[in-house]
Amino acid sequence: MKASTTFALLIGVASGVIGFAGCTTSGPAPQSISQPPLPTATPAANYLYVNHNGKFFVYHLPLEAGAKPVLTLTEWPGLPLPPVITADQYGNVTLASTSQLRIFHAPITSLDPSHAKLVIPLTPAITEIGQFGADLVDMEYDPNENLWLFNDLGAEISELRAPLSRNMVASLTIGFGAPGSKTAGFTGLVQGRFDVNATLYVYATSSTQARLFKIPFPYAAPPGNEGINLEEADFIDTSQWPPTAPNAPSLLLGQYTGDLHSPPPGIPPSPPVDEMSQFPQPFIPSIGRFPDASSNVIVGALIADPYRYSFYALDGDDGALTVYGLPMQPNAAPKITIKCIGGPAYCDEKPENLYLAP
């Protein structure tokens, strides 16, 4: 998740390796940490970045019906497969191939390699490298501007600590899938997300199921199973609403597979749904982990814009850009729908991402 809050942290560092029953974490071990300041309201974003299978589009916000992108770029010409992409809270864009990272500073005008402000070779000191290089499935910046890489080789997550430089070494690694741990069998990394408190959420799959896992800062505890199958997760903290908001709930949004409610005693549960859903936060044990609103659509990307009481989603089938009201209402319908540009090669059931930029 992209957030605008940067935490002032006081960390004493000692080198070492820490082993846990639930995961394997290596790197510097935080000795002490001050309490981060309370997050403040997120300023309104001015742009929405849209990735469609290697095509990069920039839309001006607020979105209006019939809006056209103000910028369209090919992300990495000549690359056999589309690059992995992410953007930080300042609108800087990072692209990844199997062998290197390219970092471009905002305002984005070109993704040509000559415009890259920094190129970082991917090495075994950064992430797992196989015969064909790294197999990154996702990248995410945390609120402190550290860059995290999610590698399907070895189900390994690694942190590159800010400030980034050419000759990086991973500051922290987290392994998934260790036998006997809560992540046992979950060796298919799909996505990583952060909330404003720098808590890391990882969506991972096993051969039979998928789950969202939670690892609070400073990532010294093993991942905890959140008990829900939620892809494209995005988090809205109460601090991110505008000061004039009549209410400011903490919410969790995403593409949910599971039951919509607990069945009455003696009644078998209804078949699980696969729907875009909203969950109040924190979860209340007496109620369970069920959404309070859902809509029968499948999205391939989603990001919240609390300042405008909206969230944006990309349709998982045809890539259409949609705008929904926030908080989400039951059976929500989009307020605006904008057709995906580029045709089936870029839009139909293809990898897609959304990012807010200042």
pLDDT tens string 9-55:
333 333 333 333 334 555 443 333 334 444 555 568 999 999 999 99
The third-level CATH classification (topology) of the domain covering 13-36+46-263+270-357 is Neuraminidase (2.120.10)
Separation of alpha carbons 168 and 165, rounded Å: 6
Domain extents for the chain?
13-36+46-263+270-357
pTM recorded for the entire structure: 0.89
Q: Give me the pLDDT at residue 42, please.
A: 58
pLDDT tens string 270-321:
889 999 999 999 999 888 999 999 999 999 999 999 999 999 999 999 999 9
Signed CA dihedral, 214, 220, 221, 223: sign only:
positive
Is the peptide bond prior to 82 cis by the omega test (within 30 degrees of 0)?
Answer: no
Instruction: Give every CB contact of residue 74 below 8 A, 6+ residues apart in sequence.
Output: 54, 55, 56, 111
Instruction: Identify the segments of the chain with pLDDT beneath 50.
Output: 1-23, 27-38
Q: 76 vs 94, 111, 116, 134, 145, CA distance in Å?
A: 11, 7, 12, 17, 23
Q: Give me the pLDDT at residue 205, please.
A: 98
Q: Give me the pLDDT at residue 266, please.
A: 82
Q: Give me the pLDDT at residue 25, please.
A: 53
Say if CB 27 and CB 171 are below 8 A apart.
yes
Q: Give me the pLDDT at residue 9, please.
A: 33
